[in-house]
Structure 1
Amino acid sequence: MVVALLLLVFLLGLAVGSFLNVVIHRVPRGESVVSPPSRCPRCGTPIRARHNVPVLGWLILRGRCADCGTPISARYPLVELGTGLLFAALTWRLDQLGRLPAVPAYLWFAAVGIALALIDLELRKLPNAIVLPSYPVLALLLTGAAAWQHDWWPLARAGIGAAALFGFFLLLVLIAPAGMGWGDVKLAGLLGGVLAYLSWPALLIGAFTAFALGAVVGIAAMSVGRAGRKTALPFGPFMIGGALVAIFLTDPLTGLWR
């Protein structure tokens, strides 16, 4: 049953990844994600249904528009495949942790995280249109998971963790406004809830890893001349990356201290 579930969520992830490509392109520009249908940005021809199949469509087209031959970025199939693999990996991990009812919440987090990370990397913004609606969605999904398992402490812990990480990032922004953005503060509340639902160590490791990843990448960028001391790096991808590290590696990392 677990194998069948993993295959199902992988296929779901492929489809969601296809939609995320639309979200990543249109939401920061204030465009509708529903209409018009996907089309070639150069010739304007709508993409045919058979060419919209995740990953396979790009391979069939050999990475080019079927009508004008304009190259199609490899980012599109990579987002689709990456979403599918992450959906399956998170489902497997939650099954290990005995938190299978929380899968819908963490799949939402994965989809939102992928979209936000790529938008932040490209445009250095974390759109409210994605972040803010995720608060009630995740609250509802985590409440359903807690009710299903008749275990309310993880939900309470998620609320405390969300408020704590939000408050911590808010304090950082107030102390050093140039080093952190308000979008990071809003995102912090989401990550705090998702991580604290699992455990306190997951919350701490996720927060620490975000700053560690940011420091490592920042130093590497300066060492190769791609950034200076005052260069602002988008922090959202590091926050999301730190959260994923915590979800998958909290147990082995905490085991090192025992």
Structure 2
Amino acid sequence: MSAWVVVGSAALGCAAAGALLPPVAYRLAVPYGAPARPDCARCGGPLPPGAAGWLRRPACGHRTGVPRWSTAVLAGLAGGLLGAALGPVAVLPLFLALAVLGVLLAVVDVACHRLPDQVVLPALAAAPTLFAVVALVTGRWDDWLRALLGGLLVGLLLTGLVLLPRAGFGFGDAKVGALLGFHLGWLGWDAVVLCLVLPWVVNVPVLLVLLGARRIGWRSSVPFGPALLVGALLAVLAVAA
């Protein structure tokens, strides 16, 4: 399969999925412990009834959450980069799914400083099984074992940071870190190390800009999830270069 087909299919697939994320992000971006939004934030109009109502637009027709084009662009860009870096390999769909999920998590974390368990935990539980299917087909069980160890290592290290006083991290960061560590562990230990280092490289300039613009103070809480996700993407690009 030629490179342009891989990049094009990855970008189009993630862009299409990214366009579906804003209503989901709108429902998830609520303060911790609060119920999901029952209506439109603009006019109070009710959401459609039914179990899938949280995926639908309010009856009033007002847009919910972030603009659709923004999540589509972000997911499409991430998918295109992953397609170009990894090529037509068996694990590419799993990394593309992670890219779409990462855009959703980043949007929610920026909005309300949460990485919701109802998204992270199912993904974390499914990853070992999905990668085991790939390992069964390709015979790469050594990569699967390294992925498992990588996820445990990143998760435990970030959990240790969470337990430090005034560290500014949450258990959501540790769970997302474990999910990213599993995926990057499949690619190699160098990817796992970069997954631990690059988020700090990404976060520091952002913090300095926000401080300089007086958008935050020295003691402000800043979400770390987006830096984790961007750092993981850069790690994939670095090891696949």
TM-score normalised by L of structure 2: 0.83
User: CA–CA distance in 2 between the matches of 1:37 and 1:213?
Assistant: 32
Task: Note if contact 2:24-2:55 (Cα within 8 Å) is conserved in structure 1.
Answer: no
* Residues 17 and 84 in structure 1, CA contact (< 8 A), matched pair in contact too: yes
* Structure 1 Cα separation of the partners of residues 171 and 21 of structure 2: 23
* Residue in 2 that maps onto 1:217: 206
CA positional deviation for 1:177? 4.5
Matched, 1:44 2:33: no
Distance in 2, matches of 1:199 and 1:79, equals 29
Partner of residue 90, structure 1: 82
Distance 1:151 1:172, change over 3 A: same
Deviations along 1:75-129, whole A, 9 cap, x unmatched? 311211332232232122112xxx7100121012111110000110111100001
Aligned to 2:14: 13
Q: What secondary structure sits across from 1:221 in the alignment? A: helix
Paired residues in the alignment total 223
- 1:132 and 2:150 correspond: no
Higher relative contact order (CA 8 A, sep 6+): 2
Cα RMSD (Å): 2.4
- TM-score, normalised with respect to structure 1: 0.78
CA distance in 1, matches of 2:79, 2:51: 22
Higher helix share: 1
Which ranges of structure 1 fall in alignment gaps of 5 or more residues? 46-64, 66-70, 253-258
Between structure 1 and structure 2, the one with the greater Rg is 1
What fraction of aligned residue pairs are identical, expressed as a percent? 26
Q: Which amino acid aligns with 2:162?
A: V
Q: Please show how residues 1-258 of structure 1 align to structure 2 within 5 Å.
A: 1-2=1-2, 3-29=4-30, 30=36, 34-35=52-53, 38-39=56-57, 44-45=60-61, 75-95=67-87, 100-250=89-239
Unaligned runs of 5+ residues in structure 2 are: 31-35, 38-49
- Aligned residue for 1:101, secondary structure, equals coil
